[in-house]
Amino acid sequence: MTDDLKVTVQRKGDAAVLYTRGYINNLGGEEIASRAYELMDDGIRVLILNLQETKIVNSIGISILIEVIEKMTEKEGRIAFCCLTPVIQKTFQIMGLAQYAKIFPDEASASQELGLPAAS
Amino acid sequence: MSLPFEPAEWRKIGTDRRRTGTWMQLTATLFDELQAIEKIAPRAASASRRRAETIRDVLARHLSFKRIAVYLDDAQRGELVLAAATNKSGMPEALERLCVVREPESVLEQCDPPAAHVVPLASSKEVLGALILGGGGQEVLDESGRSSLRALGAYLSALLAASRLASEVRDGDFQMRLQMWELESLYDIGLSIASMLDMGQLGDEILVRTMSLVNARRAALYLRQGQRFGLHQALGGARAQFLDDELSADSVRAILEAGEPVAFEKGADCIFPGCETLVAMPIRSSSGEVIGVLAAADREFRDGSVGPFEEGELRLLNRFANQVSIALQNARLHRDALDKQAIERDLELAGSIQSNILPRGLPDTDGYEIAVLHNPARQLGGDYHTFFERDGIISACVADVSGKSVPAAILVSALHAALQLLFHERRPLGEIAEELNRHIHRWSSESKFITFILATIDRRAGEIRYVNAGHNPAFIVLGGKVETLHSHGLPIGILGASRYEAQTRPFPAGSLLALYSDGITEANNVEEEEFGPARLTDILTTNETRSCAEIRDTIRDAVHEFAGEAPQYDDQTVVLVRTSA
C-alpha cells in the first residue's frame, strides 16, 4: 500500500480522468500534480480524479491537491473528485477541497455533471 | 519632461507622446498588467518565480530599461534571491534584505557592469524584494523620474504584500482546517476502530490512520508477546520482531518500564529497514500495562524530504494510541468471547454424543424392576452407567471417571466402547474388569482412572455376581437389612497388572440393589457437610417397599434438599434394580 502512487490517465476529448492507486502523500501528490499539469498544458480544462484505489491521504497530499485545484481554477478549468472512501471524503470536506472541487459518488455522475462523454 | 519610462507604445503615439494624459494612460496599462501577479496561485511551489517573471515581462514591455532584474524575498534563506531577469549575467544571485534600503549604492556596485537604479520593494514592516534596473539610456533620472520609480516600487510592494497576506491567510486557514481535521480524525477513529472486532481489519485501519495523521510513509503495529513485541501488521515493510537486538534493548526497556515514546533520529532501521526517522509509541492498557507498540517512520515534508517527528505529532500519536488501546482490548474480548462460544458449541456437541452413550431406555425384562437417576453437574460428565440383558439376566454397571469435562468424557467414551465389546464376547466379569484395566491403563494418561462396579443379577438363581474396582460400596436391601458390596480392587487404569475376581452374593427375589456414584454420598450442603452413605441407606430401608422409581425420586429430592443452595460439583448417578419371583 505504501508503494509509490500509480496514476493512469484516460483522455475523453477535452477532458481527462486520472485514476490513482495508493497513498496520496508528498510523493503521490507530486505524481498527481505532474500528470495534471501536463494535461493542463495540453489544453485539458476538465479533470476528474477517480480515487477508488486510494485509501490513505495525508495533509501534504491534500495541500498538493489544493495546488492542483488552484492551478486549474487559474486556467478557468474545472476539477472534480469521485469514488472517495468515506474517510477521504470527510477529510476533503474539512480541509476545504469540497469548496473548490465537486465530489461525486461515482465516475458516471461526475462525467455527466462535467459533460464528459459516457464511460466506454 | 524627462521620464524613466519609454514604453514601446509611446513611439507609436507620435506627436501626442509628451502629453501628460497619454503617459498616465500608459502607466495605468502597466499597472493593470502587473495585477496579474495577484492571480498566481499562492500555494504553488513555483508561485514566487512566476510572480517575478510576470513583473520582469511587464516592465520589459513598458519601460526602456535594458537590464531588469527582479529579486524576491526567500524566507528560508533569509535574503532576497534573484528570481527573474532580462539577463542574469553579472547580476548577484542574492542580496541582503536591508542593504537594498540602506545601502543601494553598494547593491548597484555588486552588478557587473554596475546598474543604474535599485528600487526597494518593501512594506512598512519588511523588505519583500527589489528591482535592479539599468541600460537603455536611463542611467540618470531627474526628480520626476525618481518619483515615478518610487511610485512603481510602492505599487509593486503593495501587490506583493497583498499576495503574501493572501498566502498567509490561506496557510492560516489550512492550518486551522488541519487541526480541525486532526481532532475530527481522532474522534472518528475512536468511533470507527472501537467497533471493529476483526483483528486484521482493525490493524489495517490503525496503520492507515496513523500514517495519515502524522504524515508518515510507513507504519507498523506490534503486539506484546512476553518481553518482546511481535509484528502484527505493517504498511511499508517492517521487521518481524520489534527491536530484537542487543543495541535496542534499552529502548525496549524504556517503553516497557516508562511507557514513553521512543523517537529515533538514528538507528531507525531497527524497525523499518532503510527508513530515516522513526517514533515508537507505546500502547497502554487501562491498567497501565504496555500491550503493544505503534511505530511510524519517515515523517514527510512538503519539499519531499523526510525528517524527525515533531512535538505536536508525538502528542497526536499519543492520543491516538489511547484509542488504539481501547480498540485492541475490545477486539481481544470479542475474540475471547467467540473462542468461548466455539468451546461451548463443542461441549454441547460432545455432551450430545455422551448422552447417546448412556442408555436411552431401561431394559424391560420380566422379573426386574429398574430405575435410574442421572444428574450431570456439567454438560460433559464423568459418570457412566449401562445395562446388558442376556438370557433374561440383567447386568448393570456404574462407573465414575476421574476428572471433569472433555478429558473425562473422552475416557467415558473409551470405557463404553471397550465394555460393550468385552461384554458381548461373553467374558466372565473378572476378566472383563482386567481387560478394561489393561486397556485403560495403556491408552489413558497416568493421572486418569475409573472407579467401576459391574453386577450381574440372576433372579432365577437368586444370586448376584459383581466386580467392584475402587467404586463406592453398593447396597443390597432386603427386609430392612443392608448388605454392603465393598470394593475389592484398585480402580481401573491405575495399575496395569491389577487382578479382579468376581464376588458372589445371594440375591433372593425382592432384593433391591443400589449402585451409585460419589456425587450422591459426597453431595455437600452450604455447611460443607456430606450427604453420606448413611442417609442413602436410610432412604433405601425406609422406602424399601415402594417402587424403584419412587425410591429414586426420594433419593433425588433428599439430596437436593440436603444440598440446599450449595452448588453441585459432581455428577450424580443412582441405579436401582429389584427382582421379583
Residue with cell 468471547: B337
pLDDT of residue A110: 93
Same domain, B43 and B118: yes
Same domain, B267 and B320: yes
Beta bridge partners of B229: B224
Same domain, B419 and B551: yes
B393 by DSSP, 3-state: which? strand
C-alpha cell at A12: 475523453
Mean pLDDT calculated for residue range B137-150: 77
Query: What distance lies between CA B361 and its chain's CA centroid?
Result: 51
Please give the Cα distance from B506 to B485 (Å, whole number).
12
Same domain, B312 and B410: no
The pLDDT confidence band at residue B258, using thresholds 50, 70 and 90, is: low
Mean pLDDT calculated for residue range B14-36: 59
Same domain, B121 and B253: no
Name the E strands within chain A: 6-12, 15-21, 46-53, 78-82, 102-104
- Is there a contact between B215 and A60 if contact means CB atoms under 8 Å apart? yes
Answer whether A114's CB lies under 8 Å from A11's CB: no
Please give the Cα distance from B134 to B60 (Å, whole number).
12
Stated as kind and residue range, the H or E segment containing B149 is: helix B143-194
Q: Choose among A59, A67, A90: nearest Cβ to B178.
A: A59
The answer to whether A34 faces chain B, any CB pair under 8 Å, is no
Same domain, B135 and B209: no
Considering B112-116, B400-404, B509-513, the range whose residues carry the highest mean pLDDT is: B509-513
- Is there a contact between B300 and A2 if contact means CB atoms under 8 Å apart? no
pLDDT of residue B264: 63
pLDDT of residue B55: 93
> Does B244 score more than 80 pLDDT?
no
Considering B39-43, B79-83, B195-199, the range whose residues carry the highest mean pLDDT is: B79-83
Q: Which residues of B387-398 are buried (b: 16+ CB within 10 A; e: fewer)?
A: bbeeeebbbbbb
Percent of chain B with pLDDT over 70: 87
For residue A33, what is the nearest residue in chain B, using CA coordinates? B44
Residue spans of alpha helices (H) in B363-517: 405-424, 429-443
Percent of chain A with pLDDT over 70: 94
According to DSSP, the β-strands at B481-485 and B79-85 are: unpaired
Same domain, B73 and B148: yes
- Output the average pLDDT for chain B: 83
For residue A66, what is the nearest residue in chain B, using CA coordinates? B43
Q: Choose among A25, A59, A70: nearest Cβ to B41.
A: A70
- Of the residues B300, B301, B305, the best mutation for testing chain A's interface (the one with the most A CB atoms within 10 Å of its CB) is B300
From the list A58, A80, A60, the residue with the least C-alpha distance to A69 is A80
Helices (H) and strands (E) in chain B, counts: 14, 21
Q: What is the CATH number of the domain that holds B329?
A: 3.30.450.40
Distance of residue A22 Cα from the nearest chain B Cα, in angstroms: 11
pLDDT of residue B19: 39
CB atoms < 10 A from the CB of B209, how many? Answer: 22
* Contact residues on chain B for A63, CB-CB shorter than 8 A: 43, 174, 302
pLDDT of residue B466: 97
Same domain, B21 and B96: yes
pLDDT of residue B237: 66
Same domain, B219 and B78: no
Distance of residue B310 Cα from the nearest chain A Cα, in angstroms: 15
For residue A37, what is the nearest residue in chain B, using CA coordinates? B44
Is pLDDT larger for residue B27 or for residue B77? B77
- Helix/strand/coil (H/E/C) assignment for every residue in B166-211: HHHHHHHHHHHHHHHHHHHHHHHHHHHHHCCCCHHHHHHHHHHHHH
Please give the Cα distance from B128 to B130 (Å, whole number).
7
Answer whether B296's CB lies under 8 Å from B283's CB: no
- Is there a contact between B236 and A59 if contact means CB atoms under 8 Å apart? no
For residue A89, what is the nearest residue in chain B, using CA coordinates? B181
Reading chain A (120 residues) residue by residue, the pLDDT tens digits are: 455 789 999 998 889 999 999 999 999 999 999 999 999 999 999 999 999 999 999 999 999 999 999 889 888 899 999 999 988 998 998 888 888 899 999 999 999 988 877 654
> What tens digit of pLDDT does each residue of B429-470 get?
999 999 999 988 887 766 788 999 999 999 999 999 999 999
Residue B353, domain member (yes or no): no
Q: Choose among A56, A57, A60: nearest Cβ to B300.
A: A60
- Is there a contact between A74 and B41 if contact means CB atoms under 8 Å apart? yes
Residue B278, domain member (yes or no): yes
pLDDT of residue A2: 52
Q: Which residues contact B573 (CB under 8 A, 6 or more apart)?
A: B372, B373, B374, B375, B383, B384, B385, B398, B400, B515, B516, B517, B519, B520
Same domain, B367 and B253: no
* Amino acid type, B414: A
Percent of chain B with pLDDT over 90: 33
- Is there a contact between B181 and A94 if contact means CB atoms under 8 Å apart? yes
pLDDT of residue A102: 93
- Is there a contact between B39 and A74 if contact means CB atoms under 8 Å apart? yes
Query: What distance lies between CA A56 and its chain's CA centroid?
Result: 14
| Boundary residue ending a domain (B317, B334, B351) | B334
For residue B43, what is the nearest residue in chain A, using CA coordinates? A67
Same domain, B413 and B471: yes
Answer whether B34's CB lies under 8 Å from B45's CB: no
Query: Which residue range is the domain that position B419 belongs to?
Result: 359-579
- Of the residues B39, B40, B43, the best mutation for testing chain A's interface (the one with the most A CB atoms within 10 Å of its CB) is B43
> Does B12 score more than 50 pLDDT?
no
> What tens digit of pLDDT does each residue of B289-314 get?
888 888 888 889 888 888 888 888 88
Q: Choose among A26, A74, A91: nearest Cβ to B302.
A: A26
Mean pLDDT calculated for residue range B234-263: 63
Residue B3, domain member (yes or no): no
ipTM for this model:
0.86
Residue B188, domain member (yes or no): no
Mean pLDDT calculated for residue range B38-65: 83
pLDDT of residue B268: 57
Q: What residue segments make up the domains of chain A, in order of their start?
A: 6-114
Distance of residue A77 Cα from the nearest chain B Cα, in angstroms: 14
Mean pLDDT calculated for residue range B164-176: 82
Beta bridge partners of B26: none
For residue A30, what is the nearest residue in chain B, using CA coordinates? B304
The pLDDT confidence band at residue B1, using thresholds 50, 70 and 90, is: very low
Q: Choose among B41, B177, B235: nearest Cβ to A67.
A: B41
The answer to whether A89 faces chain B, any CB pair under 8 Å, is no
Residue B538, domain member (yes or no): yes
Q: Choose among B41, B208, B215: nearest Cβ to A55.
A: B208
Q: What is the CATH number of domain A6-114?
A: 3.30.750.24
* Contact residues on chain B for A56, CB-CB shorter than 8 A: 208, 211-212
Is pLDDT larger for residue B469 or for residue B239? B469
